[in-house]
Amino acid sequence: MNLSGTVPIIRFTSLAVIAALSFLSPVNAQVQLPSGSNQPQPIDPNDPNNLRPTAQNNSLLSLEGGKRLMTDASNAVSSQNYDVAAKKLQEARLVFNQLSNFYQDLNSSFSGIDTRVADAQRKKALETAQMRDEATYQLALVHRAQNKPELAVPLLIQIVKSQNPTRDLGKKAYQQLLELGFVDAPFPRGGSASSPPSSSPSSSPAPSPSPSSGKK
């Protein structure tokens, strides 16, 4: 038997088989991928860390979503269900704060590129920061109604810092600190006393609050 001619044929055949398998291996790898591996995971609506920005009116991370939380909190205050009111106001505060930070980031991104877009985002950042401070003030009032001044004081100080003591909401926050005995110097002198928690959020005119404050 002539083996010298057989060995090259076997080697050639083996190389051909290996080459064919190398072409098939990528297809094989794709088939083995678990089905649905690229599908988005469901979002837990009760987890505030899972908030997602969207323009839909039924989204939690939107002006409408924050306002709905404020309305729910007002209804809870009317029923003297302060635990629920505090939870709703905490959520509203988070929503408005995140929105303000997002708009501020957009303002920074367009600064020096498109003044019209940058100004529009700055306006939204200030608007949502104002709403955040309103929610924070209402939350502080709820904590007062719960006899938890240790929770109300830090919130009131944040408002004074964000709003400025000369603004309406800043004055009311400082007055609350005075009534709690945390400060003893009235401002402005002869300032009027504030009211207990109301059934609706405070509606002070929007000044120029700091968009980046109140990150909690």
- What are the tens digits of pLDDT across the range 15-46? 444 444 444 333 333 323 333 333 334 334 44
61 φ/ψ angles, rounded to the nearest 5 degrees: -85, 75
Q: Which amino acid is at 122?
A: R
Burial (Cβ within 10 Å: 0-12, 13-18, ≥19) of residue 47: exposed
Candidates 178, 174, 143; CA nearest to 161 is: 174
Quote the pLDDT of residue 33: 30
What SS3 class is residue 92?
helix
Quote the pLDDT of residue 114: 94
* Whether this model's pTM surpasses 0.85: no
Quote the pLDDT of residue 13: 46
Instruction: For residue range 152-169, list pLDDT tens digits in order.
Output: 999 999 999 999 999 999
d(CA 155, CA 214): 9
Confidence band of 93 (pLDDT split at 50, 70, 90): very high
d(CA 71, CA 92): 10
Beta carbons of 184 and 178 less than 8 angstroms apart: yes
